[in-house]
Chain A
């Protein structure tokens, strides 16, 4: 093993252990539990609110007594066809009385009334909350269906025969969704983990170890070692939660009735999605997504480490967190757009631009079956990791280690005359 690699591993080992062997790391490791818990509570609340809002809304038909049965029957039939998200609000049918005012019905307390229909079915008057609303259109459709039913007389219900036909392979839309999922997952993990790199040299600068490191080993190996240490922490984090998920799934599977699980799987859209496959195949897709996560982590981490190394104080490091987050979101947006438009110029730009390349290429792995291009992309990204590290080290050496004359983008030019040459 040559000096450079050995030095890098010494630094990585120290950083990894200094992070992992602390009580704070436990909090860091379990942080997603809080996220999941709070998300579940929030989701439950939002769901209840949505249910309650759905239940509170209604549409009203003020109809002659003779039309009530026809309206009810038509509503039953139409509602069955519009089940799911397109289902209209609950229909309330009232016998019309002279002097009924649809506007008064709209204003009745206790529920939101989206539309009220009044008058003969052939020419109903519909008052609605919003012009051109779906509720108003539905009431008109209801009157029309009731009229047609009456005109047609008694007709035997249609006995339709349904047959599902698989078109073969996974749909493009499903693969694009997988691509987006990969982009989002890698983005989320790097957002959570790589941002920490910005303050990684603050410790060494604060306790003056940096001069010992700079005297003992190449700064490039210090930077790379620190990145590797942090990457190790990130991989430990991912491995822990992956193991938890797999273990949890396994335990759940052994505790459940196999027949019930099979039935649930058959009915579940998620199970259907799992039946789909990315263009490169699941095994390759998962492996290459992991490789792209590593590359994205190293690329962004190298940038953040380099920028953070220029910061002189903790406050400066804190100030950097906003531009860093914006930069990451920018890369995510570019890559997400590329994932939804494979084969376009935008996608190509995102795949070539080094900092969005891992995300965009992960999306490409979902929709394009070519394997070789990923090797090229990984090489391209690794080259940029090296370039960013070299640039960061150069700036650090000239700007921070030499105590002046270096480039600090938020400070401008050289330091004042007679400024201390001490390492900061």
Chain B
């Protein structure tokens, strides 16, 4: 039986008539890296806040780390909010120790761990620098360290990569993997698919306030057919080639592009071989998470627009 660190069911939140989150459920297996993906304003941050008990849901409930109410296990959670916040007058080491102390870590131990973490991340020269003197990215790394300094069992990161340069993004990915290897469960939100694709064991896609997909990255990618890029050898007749390929094949330069179902790959290869057009180039690849994400969100938007149009027509008719 799977052990879940996060079990949120039917979370809903309404802000003055605007449904920010509508029945979102999240089940995050313990020890996994779980991504919550969605376009801007989809409801990711509100979902995470409700999951952690920072704000109360209008409906639904959240249970963390073995069925506990979120507020009962605060000290076992690390949280990096979307809107970064540190006391500008504090020194980096103190800021990290303070965040650890909030979760029950001894101040002295917090300072020691802060220095160790900062050393590992190449930040040792700013250990006693005040936050106000740091760059935004550096301050963000300090806050990230502050959210994991107490070795939490569950780490929730809201858009952790935004504002970081590629080097720090790489460091952050390394840190996330290391925390997972330590045994922590990591739940993070992002709208940058590359990070999710590299890191996540499972993902949920939220669009228009609702969860639209849940599964592994491969499951998401499998929603779209394989993409084929075929370049015939020599000057073959375009119409003849088009007749050979599935409907919708598109020619760009010498190459032809078209989707193909998993089951149709071998018959396609047999047809190409038998046709005598030859193969100058051939690639068959599964689309990336980016394409799957765009596909899902577009479907949701289209359905939403259709609903809105139909409502408007009904209203006009009435």
Instruction: Report A's interface with B, CB cutoff 8 A.
Output: 3, 6-7, 10, 14, 18, 22, 203-204, 207-218, 397-398, 401-405, 414-419, 421-423
Contact = CB atoms under 8 A, between A and B. Distances in A.
Given A3-B104, A215-B52, A421 B99 contact: no
Contacts of B99: 212, 216
B102 A421 contact: no
Contact of A419 (B18, B52, B77, B83): B18
A208 B16 contact: no
B103 interface: yes
B137 interface: no
Nearest 3 Cβ contacts at the A-B interface? A208-B85, A216-B102, A209-B85
B149 to A, nearest CB: 12
B233 to A, nearest CB: 58
A361 to B, nearest CB: 36
Contact of A415 (B15, B81, B101): B15
A416 B17 CA distance: 8
Nearest to A214: B54
B83 A208 contact: yes
A422 B83 contact: yes
Interface stretch (B86-94, B187-195, B263-271, B302-310): B86-94
B86 A207 contact: yes
B20 interface: yes
15 contacts: A7-B102, A208-B83, A208-B84, A211-B85, A216-B75, A217-B74, A217-B102, A398-B56, A405-B14, A405-B15, A417-B16, A417-B17, A417-B18, A418-B18, A421-B15
A3 B75 contact: yes
Given A3-B75, A210-B85, A417-B17, 10 more contacts: A18-B90, A207-B86, A207-B88, A209-B87, A215-B74, A216-B102, A397-B56, A403-B15, A418-B17, A421-B46
A418 B83 contact: no
Contact of B81 (A211, A218, A416): A211
B161 interface: no
A181 to B, nearest CB: 39
Contacts of A14: 87, 98
Contacts of A212: 79, 81, 85, 99, 102, 143, 146
Nearest to A210: B85
Interface in B90-142: 90, 98-99, 101-104
Most buried by A among B75, B90, B101: B101
Contacts of B146: 212
Contacts of B81: 208, 211-212, 215, 423
B15 A419 contact: yes
A233 B260 CA distance: 72
B74 A216 contact: yes
B103 A418 contact: no
Interface in B36-65: 45-46, 49, 52, 54-56
B68 interface: no
B71 interface: yes
Interface in B240-292: none
Contacts of A215: 52, 54, 74, 77, 79, 81
